[in-house]
Amino acid sequence: MNAGISILQKMQRYGWEILPHPAHSPDLAPSDFHLFGPLKRHLGGMAFETEDDLISELRNWFDNLDVDFFRVGINSLLSRWQKCIDLHGDYVEK
C-alpha cells in the first residue's frame, strides 16, 4: 500500500461501500466461520510437549493449506454479507 493512503481511502477510491456490522459477528468473520472449525478438527486429539511443538504444527498446517481453502472462505463472505444486509444486521446462520 502506498505511504499515506489509508485503507478507508483505498476503499473509497475503488468505490466500495462500507457497511456497518456488529462489533463481534462470528458469522461474518472468516476466522470464525471458515478457519477455526478445520483447525480444531486437525488438532483434535493431538498433544504437544512444548509451545514450540504446537507452533511448528500450526505452521505446517497453514503451509499445507491449498489456496482454494482461502478462496472459498473469502468468497463465502459475499453471500454472508448479503444475508446480513437482508436481515438488517441480524445474526446470519449457515
Residue 10 clears pLDDT 90, i.e. is over it: no
Tell whether 15 is covered by a domain.
no
Report residue 26 as a C-alpha cell. 462470528
Question: Using one digit for the tens of pLDDT, what is the confidence trace for 16-62?
Answer: 877 666 666 666 777 777 888 899 999 999 999 999 999 999 999 99
Domain count, the chain: 1
Confidence (pLDDT) at 85: 76
The pLDDT mean for the chain works out to 82
Tell whether 74 is covered by a domain.
yes
Domain around 41: 22-86
Under 8 Å CB-to-CB from 32, ≥6 apart: which residues? 26
Amino acid identity of residue 24, one-letter, is H
Tell whether 93 is covered by a domain.
no
Confidence (pLDDT) at 86: 81
Confidence (pLDDT) at 51: 97
